[in-house]
Amino acid sequence: MKSLLFSALFGLLFLSLSAQPTKGAWMLGGDARFQSNIGGNSFNALSLSPRVGYFVSDRLALGMGLGLAVLNTEFANYDGGNVSPFARYYFPLKKSKLSFLLETGGSFSTITIGGETTNTWRVQAGGGINYFLTPEFALEGMLGAGRVFPTAGDHFTETDFRLGFQVYLHRKSSDDDAPIGSGALRKRSLLLGVARTLTLNSDNQRFEPAFSYMLSDRLAVGAAITLPINEFRPHLRYFTGSENASRLRPFLGAGSSFIWEYGESDQFNITPFADAGVLYFISPNIALEGALQYQADFRAFRPASDLTSNLMARVGFQYVLPGKR
């Protein structure tokens, strides 16, 4: 069974700015979701759902989410994925960093266990709130309910609670003529990001929320967290390239994975890694990330004949909260 990983990304700084999305803006984000059914067999699920949306008016956004999930029932464990179109309507509070919202949509999901696949349709609705830390970045909480129609088994109603974030790419105005560069990437800046990592010599995939803090204009220290395999990944990164004139900022990095597993006996292992990649700034504070990573496999709980070093490709984005000059 493929290992599917999830987690939430939380902001760390509370700034005194306020903003609301407007027509023509793009929305990028994701959330960690806890679901539980009402009635029937015991059912709990945790999942990560990256999503993208577009504002067709100042308050209405249409979009699509892609999900990966790990599920635990009283009978077995499952893994799977889903696609979920949605529509959401915002109710901004004037002169405030808060915006309430309503959302409705549906999803189609597929779950595999023991080589057998089950498809499920959902219709769902809910409400929530955005808290804007900056004009482009908001924390989000949502509470909702939905009706589930599996191809095998009875229909049921489920509730879900979500915590996540949204990044808003506002439409460029005539006043925004300054060239985009990486000037926000400087000493005391905080980078918040999420990425999808694919292991090239296996079918393992993961989603990793991460943060980094710029110790200088080029050196950053940070960490990523991956679940459910219980992995903590501290790292150092050194950025090269022009600090202001270019959108591109190549970097070299190194770190180590601290992995612990529970079962008949607790096991803890450390695996070092090195990576190289680049940030490409699509706005003054938002950068796409691409990297290759090599991780040595020295896990003590695996037999020597089964040790494998992994080459991984990572794609994601970083949001930069710039440090004061």
Residue listed under structure tokens 């202001």: 244
Spatial distance between the Cα atoms of 271 and 306, rounded to a whole number of angstroms:
15
- Fold of the CATH domain 190-321: Porin (2.40.160)
For β-strands 190-199 and 310-321, DSSP reports them as antiparallel
Domains 26-169 and 190-321 fall in the same CATH topology:
yes
Give the list of residues 6+ apart from residue 241 with CB closer than 8 angstroms, or none: 182, 248, 249, 250
- Strand ranges (DSSP E) for 135-230? 137-150, 156-169, 190-199, 205-214, 219-226
Q: Which residue ranges make up each domain of the chain?
A: 26-169, 190-321
C-beta neighbour count of 65 within 10 angstroms: 19
Tokens of 40: 């029937």
Give the 3-state secondary structure percentages of the chain, helix then strand then coil, rounded to 5: 0, 65, 35
For the segment(s) 26-169, the CATH number from 2.102.10.10, 3.40.50.1380, 1.10.10.10, 2.40.160.20 is 2.40.160.20
pLDDT values of the chain reduced to their tens digit, one per residue, 325 residues: 333 333 333 232 223 334 567 888 888 877 666 555 555 555 555 556 678 899 999 899 999 987 766 555 555 555 677 788 999 999 988 888 899 999 999 888 887 766 677 788 889 999 999 998 877 888 888 899 989 888 877 888 888 888 888 888 877 654 455 567 777 888 999 998 888 787 776 666 677 888 999 999 999 999 988 755 568 899 999 999 876 667 899 999 999 988 765 554 556 678 899 999 999 988 888 889 999 999 886 655 454 444 456 788 988 888 888 887 6
What is the secondary structure of 276-314 as a DSSP string? EEEEEESSSSEEEEEEEEEE----TTS-GGG---EEEEE
